[in-house]
Amino acid sequence: MTFTRLVSSTPGILVITAVAALAAGAGSIAQVQQLTTWTVYGLLALSLVLVWGKAGIFSFAQGALFGIGAYAYGVAGANLLPVTGESFSALLVGAVCGGLAAALIGYFVFYGRLGELPVAVVTLAFSLLLLTVMSSLSDPSYRIGVAVLGGYNGLGAPVLTAPGAPDGLTIPATFYLVVGVTALVAVGLRRLLGRPFGRIVLATARNEGRTELMGFDPRRVRLQAFTLGGVVAGLAGALYAASALYVDPSVFGLAQSALVVVWVLVGGRGSLLGGLAGVAMIEPLTSALGGSGGDLGPIILGAVLIVMVLLLPSGVVPALISLVRRRRAGHADEAAPVLAVEGPPPLPLDGRPPATLATHDLVKRFGGLLATDHVSLEFEPTRAHSIVGPNGAGKSTLFSLLVGANRPTEGTVWLDGADITRRSTFQRARLGLGIKRQVPSVYLDSTVLENLWVCAYADCRSVPESDRRAREMADWLGLSGRSADLAAELAHGHRQLLEIGMVLAARPRVVLLDEPTAGMTREETHLIAEVVRTLAAYCTVVVVEHDMEFIREVGAPVTVLHKGAVFAQGTIDEIRADERVLSIYLGRAHVEAS
Amino acid sequence: MPLDYLANAGTNILFDVATLVLVSLGLSIVFGMMGVINMAHGEFIMIGAFTVVLAVRQGVPLWAAMVAGPVVTGLVGVVTERLLIRRLYGKRIEGTLLATFGLGLILQQGATLLLGSSPEGIATPLGSFSLGRYSIGWYSLVIVAAALALVGLVLLLFLRTRYGLLARATMQNRAMAANLGIDTSRINMLTFGLGSALAGAAGALLAPVVAVVPTMGIPLISSAFITVVLGGPAVVTGTAASAGLLGLVRQVVTLLSTPLLGTAALLVAATVILRLLPGGISGRYRRTTL
């Protein structure tokens, strides 16, 4: 284990890379050139690991972004070299162009809220369009500055030239540069994924809805990750053009798009190493069989795709890793600890002041159905409030209007005097709404501590502070013994409790809970009631429930909804004594008439 | 503008729209009803086209060969569903996409090795008539009529037959359909077969007017994908509306400038509309609309 850790540490990676590169650089010129290309492909694979494996965006565009980077290097290099005497800046142009193109595609597909498969399709169509366009620009009049685009004949690219060394880099020197850049990008991406940005990217991929409830805009997060992937792919393309001294439109073709996906699929999209390993496995194989342009190349690629998808969908490297790290025995079988919270929640009493959430004449119509009927309510600070009503009373619709999942037909929602009716869910979360929907929504593939961390970070944007809050919250939830377990390993009650902890870790001013006791045992319900009572000292709490026993335990003022409208208000005892409320719960007809 | 110019332009637009409808309809049904993007759809079109070319060369009458195209392709689709797609339901969403992509690569290269990459063709039947300075092929009008007829047939199939009812039930709520005793696995097979047969029909109908080569699917499907995505959840009418819109844009720009700009305009139009209408053209229809 210590050996693995040493090898996978940043200096470890750099040392191993340097040694391997020096050894490889001693080969024949043809071998070195081959290795250069493969290393560039490795860099390209890293970009797809980031976009697909980490950010959860299946993209066919990495090949096209690579092509854009390559063409940009060729065009910029040819124009810059006579002026500046170097072509390194053209590498940057390639990376920037890749990033810009990715940002453009990303803006449309993510802000258009396309689903996962449509995104894949649009990225593919983008590549094919570029293939068509670049192939048909063969007339010599299509030129940018001194660079003739060349259509399907391709574009010549200048050799990498350092300032003051007009002859340009030798082939081994280019190889060392490519290896160095790839290693640095790999290390940089790994660092980044451990930092807040990376954790939020992972969180968005694992549970978009929860991330939005914490106040992050998933569209923006995806756009940022996709753009970064574009920069890496563009840089890879620029390096490709700089080492091959040539680029043609086939980089935009289906085969190239497929190749990138095959590398990452085979190696394992979940890890950066997987992307590199995929190239190391596939490329020597296809080149031994006559290259991917050979007769059998596409057939082998296709067969590899099918076999991998059917048999080893997570890839070779993750499969090996899980083989090495045998699952810790028996830890799921430990007697599941009973739900328990210890003392008051780890929240400061002098934190952000609780806020008043209010609605004014809120109306929501679905076609002919009046789901919310002129509801005006005010939820004052430092109190718990409960909203009850029989099934179909409009509780969930009202909740969706409060959290911004639906827009009201008429009326307004106010938070401390500010109109938030038109604010989206993530914007409301930023203003201090802590939201827990009915279905438990936690990051199943993240650990308990990571779950809490992301939520704390959503509020404080400070790593040490988030670390501290996450630990405190885990202690309070009685989950500190399981903080390294995945949330997927928790029982239902614990997931519900964890989610409440996540909401609190963001230090909300108003907490909205939709049926927090759904599917819980009697004792668990009792515990949640106690938590809600305690919370009222720190923030405004609104609970939507139909469990009257729970409402009684919470002891908060009750609003009864019926047919979308406020039907009765009062203390739980008043409500329980109200014949009319009893009637709507029991469905007696005479109330309808009155 | 002279009348004959407009009539010719109108025919071009109708022909382009019809082509888009033909190549997207099967793709859209398989995506909308099964949540599967069939990346081998272009190769299925190619199979339909080659079936016609090879059959005609064996002396089969053209119209009979055109029937054989969808039948052969439909059978290929059924086999594909049984052997490949079926193993990937309920797994990660890109599984079927990658597997059919792999299948597409194999079919394309397999066809190249077996049949060669030089273009095959059959003569365009029916001749042409002249309209002012332009000559218009009767067969273009056949394609337009065929696209209309196929859309009508598919709507009838889904709205008036037992299979259609069960398929729509399965599409709306797979678990509930299974609870009601519908054999959803069989419905999947038939739906994928139907989508593939429609690809085959597209290939067969287009065989007399395009170069039949193993890679013929590539330029066709990239616009088909865009059409389907823009069409949104209504698998038949949404796709038809989207094809109408995109075909119009592409042909108008092509007529005014070059085919290249026309294709670019298609992508730009689709992207901008998707940004304005998330969920596509039919995104705001009632969900159960076909």
| Non-local CB neighbours of A232 within 8 Å, separated by 6+ positions | A43, A44, A46, A47, A50, A95, A98, A185, A189
State whether A129 and B272 contact (CB < 8 Å): no
A116 touches B at CB < 8 Å: yes
Name the minimum distance, in Å, from the CA of B131 to any CA of chain A.
Answer: 31
| Contact between A293 and A248 (Cβ < 8 Å) | no
pLDDT in tens, chain B (290 residues): 677 788 888 888 899 899 999 999 999 999 888 888 888 999 999 999 999 998 888 888 888 888 999 999 999 999 999 998 888 887 777 788 888 988 998 998 888 888 877 777 787 787 778 777 777 788 888 899 999 999 999 999 988 888 888 888 888 777 777 777 777 888 889 999 999 999 999 999 998 888 888 888 888 888 888 888 888 888 888 888 899 999 999 888 988 887 878 888 888 888 888 778 777 777 776 655 67
Chain A residues near residue B222 by CB distance under 8 angstroms? 124-125, 128-129
Are residue A24 and residue A105 in the same domain, yes or no? yes
State whether A117 and B97 contact (CB < 8 Å): yes
State whether A120 and B37 contact (CB < 8 Å): yes
Does residue B280 belong to any structural domain of this protein? no
A304 touches B at CB < 8 Å: yes
Which of B98, B108, B272 faces A309 most closely, judged by CB atoms?
Answer: B98
Q: Over chain A, what is the mean pLDDT?
A: 84
Q: What is the reported pLDDT for A97? A: 95
Does residue A381 belong to any structural domain of this protein? yes
Percentage, residues of chain A above pLDDT 90: 14
Are residue A404 and residue A532 in the same domain, yes or no? yes
Does residue A87 belong to any structural domain of this protein? yes
Name the minimum distance, in Å, from the CA of B284 to any CA of chain A.
Answer: 13
Looking at the structure of chain B, the number of domains it has is 1
CA dist list (Å): B108 to A254, A294, A302, B70: 11, 13, 10, 18
Q: How far apart are CA A554 and CA A544, in angstroms?
A: 12
Does residue B151 belong to any structural domain of this protein? yes
Are residue A411 and residue A454 in the same domain, yes or no? no
Are residue A419 and residue A534 in the same domain, yes or no? yes
Chain A residues near residue B285 by CB distance under 8 angstroms? none
Examine the pLDDT at A299 and tell me if it is beyond 70: yes
- Go through A331-346 and write b for each residue having 16 or more CB atoms within 10 A of its CB, e for each that does not: eeeeeeeebebeeebb
Does residue B286 belong to any structural domain of this protein? no
Rounded to two decimals, the ipTM of the complex is 0.81
Does residue A519 belong to any structural domain of this protein? yes
Name the minimum distance, in Å, from the CA of A472 to any CA of chain B.
Answer: 35
3-state SS assignment for residue A241: helix
Does residue A332 belong to any structural domain of this protein? no
Does residue B248 belong to any structural domain of this protein? no
Are residue A503 and residue A454 in the same domain, yes or no? yes
Chain B residues near residue A313 by CB distance under 8 angstroms? 91-92, 95
Phi then psi dihedrals of residue A510, to 5 deg = -130, 135
Does residue B32 belong to any structural domain of this protein? yes
Domain span at residue B60?
A: 3-115+134-215
pLDDT class of A108 with cuts at 50, 70, 90 = confident
Tell me the H-state helices in B58-137: 62-83, 94-115
Name the minimum distance, in Å, from the CA of B232 to any CA of chain A.
Answer: 10
Are residue A64 and residue A194 in the same domain, yes or no? yes
Q: What is the reported pLDDT for A4? A: 59
Short-list A232, A190, A183, CA closest to A17: A183
| Non-local CB neighbours of A325 within 8 Å, separated by 6+ positions | none
Are residue A191 and residue A48 in the same domain, yes or no? yes
Does residue A184 belong to any structural domain of this protein? yes
pTM score of the predicted model: 0.81
Question: For the packed helices A196-206 and A448-460, what is the interaxial angle rounded to 10 degrees?
Answer: 120
Examine the pLDDT at A8 and tell me if it is beyond 70: no
Chain B residues near residue A104 by CB distance under 8 angstroms? none
Are residue A454 and residue A555 in the same domain, yes or no? no
Tell me the H-state helices in A49-157: 62-84, 88-111, 116-136
Examine the pLDDT at A271 and tell me if it is beyond 70: yes
Does residue A529 belong to any structural domain of this protein? yes
State whether A309 and B95 contact (CB < 8 Å): yes
Q: Mutate which of B117, B215, B227, B229 to test chain A, going by most A C-beta atoms within 10 A?
A: B229
Q: How far apart are CA A323 and CA A325, in angstroms?
A: 6
State whether A117 and B226 contact (CB < 8 Å): no
Domain boundary among A482, A507, A532: A507
Q: What is the DSSP letter of A69?
A: H
* pLDDT tens digits, one per residue of A187-233: 999 889 888 888 889 888 888 888 888 888 889 999 999 999 999 99
Looking at the structure of chain A, the number of domains it has is 3
Cβ-Cβ contacts under 8 Å between A and B: the total is: 118
Are residue A132 and residue A168 in the same domain, yes or no? yes
Q: What is the reported pLDDT for A327? A: 54
State whether B113 and A133 contact (CB < 8 Å): no
State whether A303 and B102 contact (CB < 8 Å): yes
A156-165, A340-349, B142-151, B269-278: the lowest-pLDDT one: A340-349
Q: What is the reported pLDDT for B197? A: 95
Does residue A320 belong to any structural domain of this protein? no
Does residue B263 belong to any structural domain of this protein? no
Domain boundary among A483, A507, A531: A507
| Non-local CB neighbours of A125 within 8 Å, separated by 6+ positions | B222, B223, B225, B226, B267
Are residue A481 and residue A523 in the same domain, yes or no? no
Are residue A51 and residue A90 in the same domain, yes or no? yes
pLDDT class of A333 with cuts at 50, 70, 90 = very low
User: Vertex B261, ends B226 and B217: CA angle to 5°?
Assistant: 45
A438-460: average pLDDT: 86
Does residue A158 belong to any structural domain of this protein? yes
Name the minimum distance, in Å, from the CA of A294 to any CA of chain B.
Answer: 10
Are residue A95 and residue A228 in the same domain, yes or no? yes
Domain span at residue A178?
A: 3-253
Name the minimum distance, in Å, from the CA of A280 to any CA of chain B.
Answer: 20
State whether A301 and B105 contact (CB < 8 Å): yes
Does residue B258 belong to any structural domain of this protein? no
Short-list A238, A231, A244, A243, CA closest to A185: A231
Domain boundary among A253, A282, A305: A253
Q: How far apart are CA A516 and CA A525, in angstroms?
A: 8
